[in-house]
Structure 1
Amino acid sequence: MTITLITGGNKGLGFESARRLIELGHTVYIGARDAERGSKAAEELGARFVRLDVTDTDSIDAAAAEILRTEGRLDVLVNNAGITGAYKKPEDITAADIRQTYETNVFGLVSVTHAFLPLLRRSEAPVIVNVSSGLGSFGTVTNPDRLESQINALSYTSSKSAVTMLTIQYAKGLPDIRVNAVDPGATKTDLTGQGHQTVTEGTDAIVKMATIGKDGPTGTFTDRSGVMPW
């Protein structure tokens, strides 16, 4: 049985990823800040709920302790929790705006990864999937043929670039773990409010990388169609 934790799993891409992975036989833990919403989502899915606020180290440590106690290991960690952050003109963005976005999208990912590494190392085939974005791809946002090139959002885009670089560095430094970044693509969810893909299409890359096994790739950045430009 594959034990999987999805942060921000109570809605959107996290919820749909959980549903699909459960169908594939995973035991999925829904990590969510709000206990009521998280428990409700877990009950609907047939998943398990663990309270986990990626900006709160006590919450993260408690979640890691609970999964260690109940399962003894973690096989797959999906770092999905994220926020769009402040969307303002560049001249109006402050360091406080960017810091708020990074607390969830970047520092939260690092905190969760750090806390769960001991559990992942108890797995025979540990996997980490980091949910990044095409908006964090230098090759995509500078391509005039891509929609992403028309969006200017300093805090969100730079945070997702950081997620992708963190992925590469983790992959290099943790050769015993498969670590990959994915771009869900333009998917209509509560987070974005717009997009041409269904939420199922948006989770294709997440599910693929969550099921690669010990011989799968590491240090990659892909979407549902294939390799993404850095």
Structure 2
Amino acid sequence: MTVALITGGNRGLGRAVAEELAERGMTVVVGARDASAGAEAARQLGKEATSVQLDVTDPASAFYGMVVPAYQSSKAALNNITIALAKALVDTPIKVTSVCPGFVQTDLTPINRDQAPLTAAQAATVVATAAVLPDDAPSGTFIDRNRAVAW
């Protein structure tokens, strides 16, 4: 069984990725700040989906204060984390891939909703593709809709 934890899986791009991966037969765990929103998203997904509350901003959360480099770093540093994790996990079946889904219609900012050309479902395709790379695919890469992007 392949399991995918989708942070922010209850709405926007995360929700679209969760839907696509569930359709591809993966067991999806919806990570959400709001436990009830995550549970509802998992219920709607069906297919053995479950949820977990992941809120690094809530002092009552088990994840409060957790140092999560991806949240605290620039895009350049995130690229470095991708490479470092890929090297650390080289002897495991785990793939580490940075993904640029494109300019997506989400609630991140008003401009996204109004001007972005891609729906969350369209952008989810590239993220889902990264989640199901074949065993012989390289780890530590950066991809967009079209191809691997040179570092």
Class of the TM-score when normalised by the shorter of the 2 chains: 0.7 to 0.9
Counterpart CA distance in 2 for 1:167 and 1:181 is: 6
Alignment RMSD (CA, Å): 2.7
1:170 is matched with 85
TM-score, normalised via structure 2 length: 0.81
- Bigger shift: 22-31 or 173-182? 173-182
Provide TM-score, normalisation by structure 1. 0.55
Offset at residue 213 of structure 1 (A): 3.7
Structure 1 match to 2:105: 188
2:96 counterpart residue number:
179
- State the distance in 2 between where 1:13 and 1:179 align: 19
| Whole-Å separation in 2 of the counterparts to 1:27 and 1:109 | 26
CA–CA distance in structure 2, aligned partners of residues 6 and 109 of structure 1? 17
CA contact (8 A) 2:8 2:14 kept: yes
1:50 alignment partner AA? V
User: Could you report, residue by residue, the CA deviation over 1:72-110 in whole angstroms, capped at 9, with x for unpaired residues?
Assistant: xxxxxxxxxxxxxxxxxxxxxxxxxxxxxxx89xx4256
Q: CA deviation at 1:43?
A: 1.4
Query: Which residue, 180, 194, 201 being the options, matches 2:122?
Result: 201
SS of the residue corresponding to residue 209 of structure 1 reads helix
Residues 173 and 160 of structure 1: CA distance in aligned 2, closer, same or farther (over 3 Å): same
- Aligned-pair distance for 1:229? 4.1
SS in 2 for 1:221: strand
Which structure: larger Rg? 1
Give 1:223 shift.
Answer: 0.6
Q: 1:229 to 1:10 in 2, by over 3 A?
A: same
Structure 1: runs of 5 or more not aligned: 62-102, 112-154
Give the Cα separation in 1 of the matches to 2:78 and 2:37: 26
Partners of 1:7 and 1:34 in 2: how far apart? 12
State yes or no: 1:48 paired with 2:50: yes
Query: Contact between 1:9 and 1:38, CA under 8 Å: does it hold in 2?
Result: yes
Q: Does the 8 A contact of 1:17 with 1:203 survive in 2?
A: yes
Match of 2:37 in 1: 37
Supply the AA of the counterpart residue of 1:108. V
Distance in 2 separating the partners of 1:213 and 1:28 = 19
Residues matched between the structures, number: 142
> Do the aligned partners of 2:20 and 2:125 also contact (CA within 8 Å) in 1?
no
Secondary structure of 1:226's partner?
coil
Partner of 1:108: 68
Aligned to 2:62: 59
Q: SS of the residue aligned with 2:137?
A: coil
Q: Aligned partner of 1:185: which letter?
A: G
- Give SS of 2:96's match: strand
Q: 1:186 corresponds to which letter in structure 2?
A: F
Establish whether residue 14 from structure 1 lines up as the match of residue 14 from structure 2: yes
Q: Name the structure where helix makes up a greater proportion of residues.
A: 1
